[in-house]
Every structure is written in structure tokens, then in C-alpha cells.
Structure 1
């Protein structure tokens, strides 16, 4: 784990190695945030990264949302996503649970054309499934905004694992 002072001393390459994956498969966020160095705190870094995303176009935000895997799917994911889903019990679904998640994921994708996103740390598979069942009832704009809020939560959790 790094201190913010150590992070501030990193080269551009080191910074990208450390933080390029904070926003799922979207290193452009870290690439833009690096120019704000030095950061006064973890909160400052986080706020700057969120600001980069907030200033992005709706299309860029949609691409960011779509960079996330469907929860519970057995596909290749970033190491952070693998760990987060495993911690929530999503890597050990029974065949029946996997089918339920797959069906609900497909309903969600059919309705919104982007994956269901939830910061799963501290949640179990039952809580995640319940959230999916509730949120699939939402309107698209509500879900788009909810997905962005969840992405920001995920980013903060990932930053907190890397920087003190």
C-alpha cells in the first residue's frame, strides 16, 4: 500500500500501472487525472478522478459502464473484478443460482443495453440478486445514473486498497 506522498512521486508509467485499472478497463481516467499531481489526499485523488468522468461525454460514460462485466458471469475479468465478485460469493454459484443470475442479467441487458453494476464489497449473492430484481424495474435514465454512482463507489474502494 502506498501513501499519497509516494504516489505523487511516481512516474507517469508507474502511476498508470498503479491506477490505470481503478475505473474498469478505462485507463483514460487515470491518464487525465495524473496531470493534477500532486494530490493532497486520497480524497483529492478520488475527487479528481470522478471529475474526469463527470466531464466526459454521455457516450464515454456509456462505454465506461459497458466495460464492466455482468455480475456472476464466468468470463474473463480484470483482477479487481475477479476479487470483488469472489468476495461476494459470485464465483461459487450453484448451477441453479447461475441460471437465475444469467436470466436476470439478460433481462437487464435487454432493457438497458448495459450491464448491471453494483459495488459488491460487503454484499452477498442474495443481496446482489435482490438489488438486480429491484433495479431492473427502473427507467433507463435512473439506471444510468445509478450505474455511475456504483462505479464511483467501486473506484473509491479500489483506491482505498492501494493508497493510505
Structure 2
């Protein structure tokens, strides 16, 4: 889709087209739509990221918690499935899957949120390295890191859907 098409969408059509960008949290698209017309794709990305950054903490937390565990068994949204498969998480050995499962559980127990990493372009080894590096961090630091990673995911997904 090109930017002219994006700008021409009704508010409802915009949310229909982009309501899943932030892990099936349509309010992000609803808020971003207010910033139209977008002069550039970068301005569109900025609008989505600003919507998340300015949201009340409870809404940010709900969005973070809506993300699936990496290499988990939950049903994934199409974008998440594609991103995780691209990082090799669909072809883990049983030992690797066990390690991801253990790290996911420990991370959720420690921080109360899923481990979030924008996996596009990463390998399973890089993801495990990030997991190990972040699991010892502080609660607020990890929440802010999770939000930053969600913003990266939003960028990647919009760049994939909207022509530059």
C-alpha cells in the first residue's frame, strides 16, 4: 500500500488495515490515525510510536502483555509467526525449545511480562544471548526495554506494509 492510499482511508478502514500492527491492540492505530495525513512513511511510524509512548501506563502494560512468548506454543498472529519463523524459532531442537521455555517462564516470573525482542533479522542464538543478558535486569528497566522493542516491531511491520 502506498502512502496516498493510507492517507485516503476512512478512520475505520485505517484501523481495519493497521489495528493489528501493535499485536492486536487497535487503539494504537486509532490514535495514530489522528496524525494523518502522513507526509512520509517515517511520519506514520512516528505517529504509531508516539501513540504508544504517550499512552497511560496501564494501556502500555496491556499491550506488552498481549505479546506472545518467543518460541511458545500459543497461537501466533500472522506477523508474529512470520517474524519468529524468520529467526529460526520454528525449527528449534528439543534442547533449544526447552531452553526457550525455561527462559520464558523465568522471565515472566521475574518481570510479570513476556520477553519482547524485535526478532526480525536476528538468529535464535542472538535471541538467546539477549534473553540471558536481560533476565538479570531491573523491573522498570525491562519494562522500558520491552516498550522500545514493541516500537521496533511496529516500525518493521509498517515498513513491510507501506511503501516508502
Relative to the length of structure 2, the TM-score reads 0.96
Q: Could you tell me which runs of 5 or more consecutive residues in structure 2 were left unpaired when the two chains were aligned.
A: none
Q: What stretches of structure 1 move > 6 A for 4+ residues in a row?
A: none
Alpha-carbon RMSD: 0.9
Match of 2:18 in 1: 19
Secondary structure of 1:56's aligned partner: coil
Residues 1-60 of structure 1 show CA distances to partners (whole Å, capped at 9, x for unaligned) of x11111111122321222111111211000111122211111111111111111111111
Residues 97-152 of structure 1 show CA distances to partners (whole Å, capped at 9, x for unaligned) of 11110001111000000000000011111110110011001001110111011100
Residues 47-87 of structure 1 show CA distances to partners (whole Å, capped at 9, x for unaligned) of 11111111111111111100100101121111100000000
Secondary structure of 2:91's aligned partner: coil
Range with bigger deviation, 16-25 or 143-152: 16-25
Q: Distance in 1 between matches of 2:126 and 2:35?
A: 38
Match of 2:6 in 1: 7
Superposed, which structure 2 residues align to 1:1-164 within 5 Å? 2-164=1-163
Q: Distance in 1 between matches of 2:51 and 2:66?
A: 17
Q: Could you tell me which runs of 5 or more consecutive residues in structure 1 were left unpaired when the two chains were aligned.
A: none
